Each structure stands twice: as structure tokens, then as C-alpha cells.
Amino acid sequence: MNDLDYSAIEKALGVEPESIAEMPEEIRAKMKTVLETIVVRTDEDRNELYNALDLLWQKGSVLVTLEKVSKATGIPMVTLSNLDFETQQVIVFEYLANSGNTKQIYMITNSALAVIELDKIAKLIAVPVRELRKLPRRIQEQMCGAYAMEFDKDSTNAELVGELRGMMQQ
């Protein structure tokens, strides 16, 4: 991405081009694609461009800070990258509020990891993930544990599906 592209993003978002240069390459590439895809002719187009770039800006900013969190805590970046965006934002907030409180960052990370399979479970048992998130945390963790231990990609997983649905009734 050249300086011209940075200036177009800077202009659209009202940020410094240097800060965009710090973003992961994947985010910068997506920003470039947004710039090439959305033609601004109206205020609605301008809002669409801003919203798309702003979302990428937020994700990129979180990822940049997660790199620092990874170095400070020893939590592998791949682990932090695989967490949902909301959890990533919470971790970044905690880190920025008190970078020395690694215990809290580990607690947040471990809590998110305990239920990371909910999306996959929702697909397997054909239940909206929002319904699974309404269940008590203990049940969510039990379901994810069962899924992690019993899921077989080469099976219909009929027994597991029945077990998971039964857990929902507890």
C-alpha cells in the first residue's frame, strides 16, 4: 500500500497515516479493498466507506495492542487472535487500564477459551448461538468440554448431539 492509499484512509477516518502503517498487513489490505470497492458519490456512500474503514480500524487497533499484550503476558498471539472480537476488546481495555495486571488478562482469556466452541456447537445441534449464550456459564463450559473431547469430524456425532441437547435442559 503506498502513501497515497494511506492518505485516502487518513482523510476518510481522520487519523494519522503512520498509525495505519502499524496495522497488520491483512487489515491494510482490507482497507485498500474497501477504498477500491466503495465509490463515493453521495453522503450515504461516504457513510458506508467510513463505517467499513472504521470497523477495520478498530480491529487493527485491537490487534496492534494484542501484540503488546502477548509480549507482556506470554499468552501466544495465535491464542489471542482466535478469541472473539468482544473479548479481544475487553483484554485490550484491561491491558491499557493496568498493563501489569496479567492475572486479570489471564482470567479473561481462560474464561473465553472455556466457551470458544459455542459457535461450532450451535451449528452441530442447529440452535442459534445466542440461545446457547443465554444458558448458565457452567452449562456452556460443560457443553464445550464435551464437544472438545467427543467431536469426531468423520462421524455424524449423533450421540454427541443428543448429549449436548440434553445439557441444554439441565
Q: Which residue has the cell 502477548?
A: 70
- Residue pair 64/24 in contact by the 8 Å Cβ criterion: yes
CA distances to 15, 40, 166 from 10, rounded to whole Å, are 5, 15, 52
CA distances to 68, 109, 140, 168 from 76, rounded to whole Å, are 11, 11, 24, 32
- Residue pair 88/80 in contact by the 8 Å Cβ criterion: yes
Residues 6+ apart with CB under 8 A from 10: 16, 17, 20
Task: State if pTM tops 0.85.
Answer: no
CA distances to 15, 46, 82 from 58, rounded to whole Å, are 12, 18, 16
- CB atoms under 10 Å from CB of 21, counted, come to 11
Q: Which DSSP letter does residue 88 get?
A: H
- CB atoms under 10 Å from CB of 36, counted, come to 9
- Residue pair 91/80 in contact by the 8 Å Cβ criterion: yes
For 151, the grid coordinates are 467431536
Report residue 105: phi and psi, to 5°. Answer: -65, -40
Per-residue pLDDT of the chain (170 residues; tens, 9 = 90+): 454 567 888 888 888 878 888 899 999 999 999 999 999 999 999 999 999 999 999 999 999 999 999 999 999 999 999 999 999 999 999 999 999 999 999 999 999 999 999 999 999 999 999 999 999 999 999 999 999 999 999 999 999 999 999 999 88
